[in-house]
Structure 1
Amino acid sequence: MKSFLLLGSALALFAFTSATAGQAPRKVNAPDIAISHRDRVYAAEQFSNTVSVTDPVDNRVLGFIKLGDPAPGNLSPLYKGQLLVHGLGASPDHKTLAVVSIGSNAVSFIDTATNTVKHTTYVGRSPHEAFFTPDGKEVWVTVRGENYISVIDAGTYAEIARIITPAGPGMTIFSPDGRYGYVCSSFNPETVVIDVATREIVGRVAQPSPFCPNIAATPDGAQVWFTLKDVGKAVAFNARPPFNVLKTLDIGPITNHVNFVRTARGQFAYVTVGGKSEVQVFRTDDFTKIATIPVGKLPHGVWPSGDGARIYVGLENADALAVIDTATNRVVANVSIGQAPQALSYVPDAVPAGPGTQNLEPLGKGGASTYLVLGSIGGGSDEPTGVSLFDQGLIQMMQASVTGLAPKRAYVLALARQADGSGRLEPLASFTTNPAGAAIVNAIGPIRQVVQAASITDRRYLVIAPGTADKLGEPVQVQTR
């Protein structure tokens, strides 16, 4: 009897483990792929215009695929490189990486074994993400600056069709079986479901707000989740007809990306929350939050390893990858990469043989950053505004992840002559907060030299004041470090 019980327990364990295998974006019955030196973690880095290549075994960056140059060289009318490297999608056979550059309207197809660009396809204005269909035959590119998906033949790299969507399609993700493509919108409050075979819209899902940057499907094919950056929410809906909403979750300011991990404990959603510098973890069966993980400055892209043991998070304002152990939900490593990482992709067996380091380059001058913090004058918000100055040589790309302000209000990021924000202000960038009282604000110039000047007479301090550039109110946030 004892032997029978042991055998029965073993069979039950085997059956349960097999049922929970398969990590996004593959099917639930796909075998887990243990982490090895053949795997790669790729990150698209917006301000260094690079793709970093990391070995996940020892969490070591191997080098960079340089697709473009830093500013101001990339502002020249004769510039030929890519600009604002942002989106990533890997082919099902793990041999090709599709990299989207927003500023140059490009999709670069990279050979993962040699780190070389095989072809570049130019599409419409401001594409955002590109993903292969599960059969590997097509690449669907959301052309966010227009109103369509550009369908590219994965063999010839030529555009073969356009699928009209609501204006501003943000991203497409496919059901694991390849039947449906789910397309969220960055400009309209509507996600559409497309039948892949017919390329016809067969379902619509209301978005509580118009700004969705990211969408993901669970490996079991049951749910689709999308994030809403402007209102700080995530929405889960039924992946099958009638595509009804299952749950709307309040997440936090600058809610960025979502992805999934399946383990022996169940299936979990990991959501990056930029304004809180954390990742929130939810069960997908009852939507309970089981963990909040501090990860670092402005977490953005997120992607699981081939076995679900790790999940990787790009830190947009820290130029780093945070590596989370999914068994403990704790950060176990940090990897320095390029500037302002956006999308991530973990590709198992990307390098079939050899070291896989050929054609990689060092980061070069686009590899240093300065980080500053702005706090509320008189206290108040417990979520300070973070500012990164991405070094481009003599100038910096400045990115502020603004939080803790009044919603839907006009503000100006400016320079003050006094540490307390008093005196005449010099405007740098005007912006309007989203409904969560947050915003991502950019500027360019020799800002580090000014805010860190040794001379008291030359030094300036970053502040945020309500109003417009020609009519500023009293500062409400001031540089604290």
Structure 2
Amino acid sequence: MKNLQRVGAISLVQVALLTLANAAIAAPNSIYVANEGDSTVSVVDIATFRPVRNIQVGRNPHNVQLSPDGKFAWVTNDGPHKPDGNTHQDADKHGQTTESSGGEIWAIDTQTDRVVAQIVVGVHPAHVVLTPDGSQAYVTNGGEGTVSIVDLQAQKVIATVKVGNYPHGIRISPDGKQAYVANLKSGTVSVIDTASRKQVAEITVGKGPAQVGFTPDGSAAFVSLSGEAKVALIDPRQRKMISKVGVESVPIQVYATPDSKTVIVANQGSKANPGKTVSFIDIATRRVVKTVETGKGAHGVVVDERGDRAYVSNTYANTVSSIDIRSGKVVATTPVGEAPNGISVLP
């Protein structure tokens, strides 16, 4: 595993210190969107809901996650562009790409919107999340069935955990003790104990689990089942699936509201038959209570910390939509880069 490379003017020591710092949030009015089709990350101003800039990153950036202090946006990608432009990609049935070489996570400084660091992880990294204290990153490596655990102060991978086949979405529980991993081609959710850095359970859920999540109070977990147009609800105490709720075609990302009452689900559909809706699931009744139309290929979804807005990336429309959660209406849509996927807003 090669060491973290220095990029730009910020030194490695500064990157580490800034990552762990508890200073004020750096960019309180921005959304970051990973555009897999043109290898950029779009920055959208929340106040005007207009794109501010596109940042060039590595090949095929799939997911972006802001650090808890808001100072960095971490992006998964397949590494730097090759000089000849040949990436040797093969698309799988979900529209993802696989690579024969290792991937990376890159850090964007949200003060300057410059790439300041790169860390090598595993083959075809899909999603990255950070621990609540911001000291570690967990990265799913879809091409090799592992999760890389990255120490952000030491600037290196400190553990590699074997999970299911083609791990994709990942979230860490609110107490920081467990990481749930959606194994897209195994039909399971892996449970990683963050203290021992080992898989301690594997929960059978259904076809094509794409992304997982937790309610902020930790009482419930959930996973989108892209292969059967459903969302599975999980009891995290028993580590057991308790129910399935039908949504629309090819649900991908899922996110809970801050009050822990609602799960919002982006229904992507396929390129030939794009989905363009977001489902609102009431956790107590386990029913869809609202369906909102956004744009073609609704893929990524995130909710702001107040629970006022949900932001959805529309991967086939190359746009991001803002939904007023109370009214259930789209209040703004803006163009971003090509094939937007992962999306993150400051906590």
User: Structure 1 residue aligned with 2:104, among 103, 106, 110?
Assistant: 106
**Alpha-carbon offset, residue 155 of structure 1:** 1.7
Question: Which residue does the alignment assign to 2:245?
Answer: 249
Contact 2:162 2:199 in 1 (8 A): no
Correspondent of 2:41 among 31, 48, 51? 51
In the alignment, does 2:280 pair up with 1:274? no
Shift in Å, 1:39 = 2.3
CA–CA distance in 2 between the matches of 1:261 and 1:312? 12
Report Cα offsets for 1:296-316 as digits up to 9, x if no partner. 111000001121100000011
Q: Is the CA contact 2:141–2:147 (under 8 Å) kept in the aligned structure 1?
A: yes
Secondary structure of 1:262's match? coil
Structure 1 length-normalised TM: 0.59
Whole-angstrom distance in 1 between the partners of 2:341 and 2:316: 10
Q: Distance in 1 between matches of 2:261 and 2:59?
A: 37
Q: Determine the C-alpha separation between the residues in 2 that align with 1:96 and 1:157.
A: 14
1:216: which partner in 2? 213
1:306-352: per-residue Cα shift (whole Å, max 9, x none)? 2110000001111111100011010000011111100100115xxxx
Aligned to 1:89: 65
**Which one-letter code corresponds to 2:344 in the other structure?**
S
Distance in structure 2 (CA, Å) of the matches to 1:325 and 1:203: 37
Contact 2:301/2:313 (<8 A) preserved = yes
Report the more deviating stretch, 46-55 or 100-109: 100-109
> Per-residue deviation at 1:95?
1.1
CA contact (8 A) 1:41 1:53 kept: yes
CA distance in structure 2 between the aligned counterparts of 1:38 and 1:83, rounded to whole angstroms: 27
Q: How many angstroms apart in 1 are the aligned matches of 2:222 and 2:123? A: 26
2:246 counterpart letter in structure 1: D
CA distance in 2, matches of 1:49, 1:159: 24
Whether contact under 8 Å (1:175, 1:239) holds in the other structure is no
In the alignment, the residues of structure 2 paired with residue 221 and residue 109 of structure 1 have an alpha-carbon distance, to the nearest angstrom, of: 28
Larger Rg: 1
Structure with the bigger percentage of strand:
2
TM-fit CA distance, 1:227: 0.8
Give the TM-score, by structure 2 length. Answer: 0.82
* Structure 1 partner of 2:229: 232
Taking the aligned partners of 2:326 and 2:310, their CA distance within structure 1 comes to 10
1:200-211 equivalences in 2 (<5 Å): 200-209=198-207, 211=208
1:3-402 alignment, distance < 5 Å: 38-67=28-57, 82-102=58-78, 105-209=103-207, 211-240=208-237, 242-262=238-258, 267-275=261-269, 276-348=275-347
CA distance in 2, matches of 1:107, 1:156: 15
Distance 1:190 1:293 in 2: 28
CA drift of 1:37 comes to 7.3
Amino acid in structure 2 at the alignment position of 1:159: V
CA offset digits 1:203-260 (Å, max 9, x no partner): 2210212x222111110101111112122221110122x1121211122222111111
Is the CA contact 2:170–2:212 (under 8 Å) kept in the aligned structure 1?
A: yes
Q: Segments of 4+ in structure 1 off by > 4 A?
A: none
Distance in 1 separating the partners of 2:316 and 2:233: 28
Aligned to 2:116, the other structure's residue is in SS state strand
Give, in whole Å, the separation in 2 of the partners of 1:332 and 1:37.
22
Over the matched positions of the two proteins, sequence identity in percent amounts to: 27
Counterpart position of 1:355: none
Structure 1 CA distance, aligned partners of 2:48 and 2:257? Answer: 21
Residues 103-158 of structure 1 show CA distances to partners (whole Å, capped at 9, x for unaligned) of: 57121111111111121112221111111111211111111111211111112321
Structure 1 distance, partners of 2:112, 2:236, is 36
The answer as to whether partners of 2:159 and 2:197 remain within 8 angstroms in 1 is no
The residue identity in structure 2 corresponding to 1:186 is L
In 2, Cα distance between the equivalents of 1:343 and 1:137?
A: 21
Tell me how far 1:171 sits from its aligned partner.
Answer: 2.3
The 1-side partners of 2:76 and 2:217 are apart by 28
In 1: Cα distance, 2:30 partner to 2:155 partner: 23
Say which SS state the counterpart of residue 261 (structure 2) adopts: strand
Let me know the Cα RMSD of the aligned residues.
Answer: 1.9
Tell me how far apart the structure 1 counterparts of residues 285 and 230 of structure 2 sit (CA, whole Å): 17
Which amino acid counterpart does residue 91 of structure 1 have in structure 2? Answer: S
Deviation of 1:287 after TM superposition, in Å, equals 1.3
Distance in 2 between the 1:298 and 1:147 partners? 26
Whether the aligned pair in 1 keeps the contact of 2:247 and 2:288 (CA below 8 Å) is: no
Q: Structure 2 regions of 5+ residues with no counterpart?
A: 1-25, 79-98, 270-274
Which whole-Å CA distance do the structure 2 matches of 1:198 and 1:124 have between them? 20
Partners of 1:37 and 1:57 within 8 A in 2: no
- Report the Cα distance in structure 1 between the residues aligned to 2:112 and 2:305, rounded to whole angstroms: 21
Matches of 1:65 and 1:239, distance apart in 2:
37
Structure 2 counterparts to residues 328-477 of structure 1, below 5 A: 328-348=327-347
